[in-house]
Structure 1
Amino acid sequence: MSVVLLWVVSPASDISNGTGFLEPVHEGTRIIGSFRSISLRRNLIGNGRLDKGQKNRRNFSFTNTGFRYSYLGNSGLGTASRLSVTSSLVASPAGGITLSSEQKVYDVVLKQAALVKRQLKSTENMEVKPDIVLPGSLSVLSEAYDRCGEVCAEYAKTFYLGTMLMTPERRKAIWAIYVWCRRTDELVDGPNASHITPTALDRWESRLDDIFRGCPFDMLDAALSDTVSKFPIDIQPFRDMIEGMRMDLWKSRYSNFDELYLYCYYVAGTVGLMSVPVMGIAPGSQATTESVYNAALALGLANQLTNILRDVGEDARRGRVYLPQDELAQAGLSDEDIFIGEVTDKWRTFMKKQIARARKFFDDAEKGVTELSSASRWPVWASLLLYRQILDEIEANDYNNFTRRAYVSKPKKIMALPMAYAKSLVPPSSKTSSPLVKS
């Protein structure tokens, strides 16, 4: 199931080719003190190509016996005021009370927001630290950041242009996060996904721990390690994304929306939480830090739900149904109806409700994008407006998402960009006008 890497995505970008490099994955050699020399220059980089019709995957990293081929590519944000945590307490099968997925995720949001607030108290302007300079490492680190930027430019064109409005430090940091997310996603959604085991994901998580400890394995890891040393970025959303990859290894059905909500957070909402500390909150904003994190979360959920609705037919051909089973049953539908792929009145009615839910998350996300720093708003608005249009295209296709893949045409993309730019000029909330004002 493809994920949207929110905040860092050009939702309608076309993937036609990519570049990667071979790196040994055996334990042992690490970049500690002096970065291991791995050339990423284009004349030494291998080329790969995705089939023309193949959908965008998350982050590319293919593992086989001795080497991992890192195939880097594309990625897509979230709610302003606190998401309404409906039914935050639900009954467990044993008769006890357990937290809903929404409440579990909101607890993560609170922790991430608290981390940023602590950082803001310690430095008024949230100044970033200079690059970590290790013997022989500075040129390698610079090259790694440059490579991350090249990947972003190739696969997330709209967002890449937006990052050019950011300060150099923030720009490089977003590129590094983007690349890690692509590599992570491709572990379970790439050409070699059938060879990925839970043990491989455990090793990837161990490698993540090393990144946050300042012991990167390769140059691209080094870019992220440098990034997390400068910004108040917590490791939990990164771990949660890996958990979403684990879920994809064994789970292909979701009994209700509560289960699907958690999956969407794992594979998409997490990226917003990773990125907010880098994107920054506008100095004049009166919104709470939690509300801005919720905006990131809501856009991620909206984008992923849109992915799911767009790709129903493609996922069905892989034996997967990313739709709430109880809601299908209520509509008089079953998995068999999805595998048959016939657009009926029952299907149209079901799809209308699913699209309405996704749009509600987009509405929630819109309330918080304005609270971001001025240099970060335009690419996020562009992502939001473009991805939201996919829902319109599903409707225009008469809800046939079995054999027709909804996409936004180039003229519509071009028309959306000036609108996104205009919205990015709207100042953040004031004490008298914002629904996100601190009480």
Structure 2
Amino acid sequence: MARGSCEGVGMSASTGTAKGGGGALLPRGEQEITDQSLNRVVSNAKRVAQGDLTNLELLRSPADIQRRRTVLNQAYQECERITGIFAKTFYLGTKFMPPEARKAIWAIYVWCRRTDDIVDGPRAMVRGKKSLQKDLEDWSSRLEDVWAGKPRDSLDLALVDVREIYPTLPIEPFKDMIDGMVMDVPGIGKNRYETFEELELYCYRVAGTVGLMVLPVLGTAPGVSEEDAKFPALSLGIALQLTNILRDVGEDAVRGRIYLPLEDMKKFGVDPENIMNGILDENYKEFMRYQIARARFYYQQAARGIPMLAPQARLPVQASLDMYGKILDVIENNNYDNFRNRAYISKVEKLLTLPFSYLRSLNPGKIDLNIDESEFKLTRFDKIDMVRETFPKDLEEY
């Protein structure tokens, strides 16, 4: 599915979590692992802590502190294991981070993965829309408990600890991601988007949010605030999610979903029924070229944020941008047939990309703090000429 969460965002890809939740951040992950497996893993994590986890936050005797430390270490190990199982490339990207940061990213990834599982797992298939809506409301309440330092299981405890280590970690993007999950609930959310503005909101909620989640963990360069780096972080999440959507047009059509804007289809003479039937004609190819150009715009805006990051965070973000951006190249090389050919980057290609990403991360360019929010908005085009005028020169061939 085209949902995303934190896989890929801020690391080499995401979400769940790039697409398919827990993995955009993010695709479902390199392997097709069933959600029943996730449920078993989470059940194991719940058994890590015996007794009332909340009491671990309240009691401060030496024994309590030691017990909390033991449970917390086991919780982080579970977060690492879950990330390694469901998002191998994403997990590899975290290895380039300092130990404390990578543990925090694992905990955030697991939260995103579990959030997505509420509406995308096998249990969701047999639950009605009211039940799913109630589940998401309960999950939102549970998030509030985490921010109040009241974990309900050991995985929650890991996120509580992240919140303590990174006090600027905002709760709002976590809540917004839950709202994004609501948008995918059958009978409540949407399976069509009329305008790109609507789709952009969805992309923000299910993937752009991850950029805001991980920004306090990644850190910023001296003289750069998290507020300064916010819009590039959002742009990267949206770019990754748009890439997921373009990659999975055929898969989503099988599920009765079309994420691409209906107004754009009309502009290019593409009938939604043709997409549902996998018809590849010249109108569709032109339509895809247009969508790919739009996604690249967001990648270029995201690249402006690389020099704003702390030096140790630049490589994983640059690698994410480089590797995921190559998926768009593959779609083009497949003659825009994303009905029958799933675009992906092989492990060898990813490894070959890393040295170039490393060199780019060493020389990311100058920091530009004179950024206006309007520069990161690209919601509607009435004419193709506007695309040519708005995009940088290397995209003018479109």
Q: TM-score range by the shorter chain?
A: 0.7 to 0.9
Question: 1:300 and 1:427 mapped to 2: Cα distance?
Answer: 19
1:32 to 54, 57, 76: 54
Alignment partner, residue 311 of structure 1: 248
Contact 2:12 2:321 in 1 (8 A): no
2:91 to 144, 147, 160: 160
Contact 1:140 1:219 in 2 (8 A): yes
Asked if residue 7 in structure 1 is aligned to residue 23 in structure 2, the reply is no
Contact 1:34 1:135 in 2 (8 A): no
Contact 1:162 1:379 in 2 (8 A): yes
Alignment partner, residue 215 of structure 2: 276
Contact 1:260 1:323 in 2 (8 A): yes
Which whole-Å deviations, capped at 9, do the CAs of 1:177-230 have from their partners, x for residues lacking one?
111111111211223322261001001111111100000010001000110122
Asked if residue 244 in structure 1 is aligned to residue 180 in structure 2, the reply is yes
Question: 1:247 and 1:438 mapped to 2: Cα distance?
Answer: 30
Alignment partner, residue 290 of structure 1: 227
Alignment partner, residue 64 of structure 1: none
Relative CO higher for 1 or 2, CA cutoff 8 Å, sep ≥ 6? 1
Normalized per residue, the structure richer in helix is 2
Cα distance, 1:30–1:315 mapped onto 2, change above 3 Å:
farther
1:256 to 195, 199, 208: 195
- Secondary structure of 2:43 counterpart: strand
Letter in structure 2 aligned against 1:260? L
Contact 1:282 1:428 in 2 (8 A): no
Moved more, 271-280 or 291-300: 291-300
Q: Could you tell me the TM-score, scaled by structure 2's length?
A: 0.78
Contact 1:303 1:387 in 2 (8 A): yes
Alignment partner, residue 281 of structure 2: 344
Q: CA deviation at 1:349?
A: 0.8
Which whole-Å deviations, capped at 9, do the CAs of 1:22-67 have from their partners, x for residues lacking one?
2789xxx8521138xxxxxxxxxxxxxxxxxxxxxxxxxxxxxxxx
Asked if residue 225 in structure 1 is aligned to residue 160 in structure 2, the reply is yes
Contact 2:194 2:262 in 1 (8 A): yes
Letter in structure 2 aligned against 1:10? A
Question: 1:141 and 1:359 mapped to 2: Cα distance?
Answer: 40
Contact 1:158 1:382 in 2 (8 A): no
Question: 1:239 and 1:30 mapped to 2: Cα distance?
Answer: 25
Moved more, 8-17 or 274-283: 8-17
- Secondary structure of 1:408 counterpart: coil
Letter in structure 2 aligned against 1:34? L
Q: CA deviation at 1:287?
A: 4.5
Identity across the alignment (%) = 46
1:170 to 97, 101, 126: 101
Alignment partner, residue 137 of structure 1: 68
User: Gapped runs of 5+ residues in structure 2?
Assistant: 15-26, 58-63, 373-398
Cα distance, 1:16–1:197 mapped onto 2, change above 3 Å:
closer
Which whole-Å deviations, capped at 9, do the CAs of 1:301-342 have from their partners, x for residues lacking one?
000001101111111111111011111111112221111211
Question: 2:73 and 2:227 mapped to 1: Cα distance?
Answer: 33
Number of aligned residues: 333
Q: Could you tell me the TM-score, scaled by structure 1's length?
A: 0.71
Cα distance, 1:342–1:21 mapped onto 2, change above 3 Å:
same
Cα distance, 1:320–1:161 mapped onto 2, change above 3 Å:
closer
Question: 1:206 and 1:438 mapped to 2: Cα distance?
Answer: 35
Q: CA deviation at 1:395?
A: 0.7
Normalized per residue, the structure richer in strand is 1
Contact 2:96 2:316 in 1 (8 A): no
Q: CA RMSD in A?
A: 2.3
Question: 1:406 and 1:307 mapped to 2: Cα distance?
Answer: 10
Asked if residue 203 in structure 1 is aligned to residue 135 in structure 2, the reply is no
Contact 2:207 2:237 in 1 (8 A): yes
2:204 to 265, 274, 280: 265
User: Gapped runs of 5+ residues in structure 1?
Assistant: 36-132
Question: 1:313 and 1:160 mapped to 2: Cα distance?
Answer: 27
